[in-house]
Amino acid sequence: MGDPNPASSREGVDRSSRFDPNFTQHVIDAMGTKTSPRMRKLMTSLIRHVHDFARENELTVDEWMKGVELINWAGKMSNDRRNEGQLVCDVIGLESLVDEITYKKAAEAADSVTQSAILGPFFRHDAPLREKNASITFDTPKNAQVVYMHGRVLNAKNKQPLSRASIDVWQASTNGLYEQQDPNQQDCNLRGKFQTDEDGEYAFYCVRPTPYPVPDDGPAGKLLKLMDRHPYRPAHIHLVVMLDGFKPITTQIFDAESQYLENDSVFAVKDSLIVKFVERKDDPQAEMELKYDILMVPSDEVGELDPPLRSSGIGSG
């Protein structure tokens, strides 16, 4: 009589011994001599991990094809307004892990460098350059709190101000949508590029961010449902800061009073990036204020620079 529970009877068995022990190495050895050393290292590791995953879980054809279909679905949904493949990476924590690895290099060079966070899928390379003290909010929703955000960009090593640093800023509106997603918002609403003055200062008007769900109509949303997870992100503002001779900073700052700080759906929250908005007085344009200084580390302190932006186009919000 057969084993009534064949799966349990295999517990503890070395699954690798049940399959061709030479197959993975055969795949790795198929790489040609023109493969760069870094590509060879990455692909060797990836192939080993993926093959081990398949063996350890005895992946079925149906399960494998579901994965293929998910990747294909992400590709079909991606365009110059949405990077669904990046969002899939976000909900499994991959982009935040890569970000942690990247930040570690800068943190070892200067203790006080501003911590990084993921880029997300809604970055735009064509954000308009705006003047200091300009507003990035147009047709401001009635339920929005306007914020005067300002601060300085400083050298993390000596705390000297950095002039002509470029600061990209973008955020979702109070309905949880970026302007690419919302036909009722004008182009580049809640988005802009600023340059620090001779004292390293920047300033602009924006809105106090609110929590919102990442788009759940694609494979990232499907994964969240399969894992019984919510799609929400805490209230945040995106920043990308660049200056020649300094390591670029891609980060997000999070409202201390927001929900979902402890369980961000894309795992991007760090304690040092949580900020407090305060009441602003004697300013007819803004109810709230946020002062936020940004500290950059010289590029020669961290060796080879990573690409300034980790997205080829419109970048989980």
Query: CA separation (Å) from 288 to 7, 205, 207, 284, 313?
Result: 60, 10, 9, 11, 32
Q: 221 in helix, strand or coil?
A: helix
CA distance 268 to 315: 15
pLDDT in tens, 101-114: 888 876 776 668 89
Q: What is the DSSP letter of 113?
A: P
Q: Which two tokens stand for residue 85?
A: 């493949």
Please name the amino acid found at residue 158.
N
Diameter over CA atoms, the chain:
85
pLDDT in tens, 79-94: 877 889 999 999 999 9
Confidence grade of residue 121 (pLDDT, cut at 50, 70, 90): confident
Q: What pLDDT shows up at residue 304?
A: 53
* CA nearest neighbour of 147 among 313, 289, 294: 289
pLDDT in tens, 34-79: 999 999 999 999 999 999 999 999 999 999 999 999 999 999 999 8
Q: What pLDDT shows up at residue 67?
A: 96
CA distance 191 to 185: 11
- Mark out the alpha helices in the chain (DSSP H runs): 6-9, 23-29, 37-57, 61-77, 84-91, 94-109, 219-226
Written as one string, the DSSP assignment of 118-184 is: ---TT--TTPPB--TTEE---S--TTPPEEEEEEEEEETTT--B-TT-EEEEE---TTS--TTT-TT
Q: What pLDDT shows up at residue 317?
A: 63
Q: What pLDDT shows up at residue 104?
A: 80
CA distance 151 to 147: 13
The angle, 0 to 180 degrees and rounded to 10, between the axes of the packed helices 61-77 and 84-91 is 130
Q: What pTM does this model have?
A: 0.85
**175 CB contacts (<8 Å, ≥6 apart)?**
141, 182, 212
Q: Does residue 14 have a pLDDT over 70? A: no
Q: What pLDDT shows up at residue 314?
A: 39
Q: What pLDDT shows up at residue 108?
A: 73
Element (H, E) at 189: none
Centre a 10 Å sphere on the Cβ of residue 264 and count the other Cβ atoms it contains. 23
Q: What pLDDT shows up at residue 111?
A: 66
What average pLDDT does the structure give for the chain? 90
Q: Does residue 183 have a pLDDT over 50? A: yes
More confident residue, 270 or 121: 270
Query: CA separation (Å) from 18 to 6, 13, 239?
Result: 15, 9, 50
